[in-house]
Structure 1
Amino acid sequence: MPEQTTRSTAWQTALTTLQDVAPPFIPAGAHGMTVVIEYPPGDPGAPPHRHSGPAFGYVLEGEMLFELEGEPPRVLRAGEAFWEPGGDVIHYQDGNNRADVALRFTVTMLFAPDQPMFTLVDEAELAQRRDRRAHAGTEES
Structure 2
Amino acid sequence: MSTDHAHHYENYGKSGPPPEIDMVGNVPEAPQVPEGAEAMTILVTLPPDSAGTPPHRHSGPVYGFVVKGAMDFELEGEPARVVRAGETFWEPGGDVIHYQDGNHLADEESAFVVTMFCAPGQPMLTVVGPEELEARRDRRAPRS
TM-score normalized by the length of structure 2: 0.87
Q: Where does 1:1-141 land on structure 2 (aligned, <5 Å)?
A: 6-11=14-19, 14-21=20-27, 22-137=29-144
Tell me the amino acid that sits aligned with residue 72 of structure 2: L
Query: Which runs of no fewer than 5 residues in structure 2 stay unpaired?
Result: 1-12
Deviation of the 1:51 alpha carbon = 0.3
Superposition RMSD on alpha carbons, in Å?
Answer: 1.2
* Percentage of identical aligned residues: 54
Q: Deviations over 1:57-81 (max 9, x none)?
A: 0001111000000001000111101
Query: Which runs of no fewer than 5 residues in structure 1 stay unpaired?
Result: none
Structure 1: which 4+ aligned runs deviate by more than 2 Å? 5-11
Deviation of the 1:105 alpha carbon = 0.5
Secondary structure at the aligned position of 1:126 is classed as helix
| Cα distance in 2 between the residues matched to 1:64 and 1:18 | 17
Aligned length: 131
Secondary structure at the aligned position of 1:33 is classed as strand
| Cα distance in 1 between the residues matched to 2:94 and 2:86 | 26
Deviation of the 1:8 alpha carbon = 2.6
Deviation of the 1:20 alpha carbon = 1.6
Instruction: Pick the structure with more strand per residue.
Output: 1
| Cα distance in 1 between the residues matched to 2:143 and 2:129 | 22
| Cα distance in 2 between the residues matched to 1:6 and 1:28 | 41
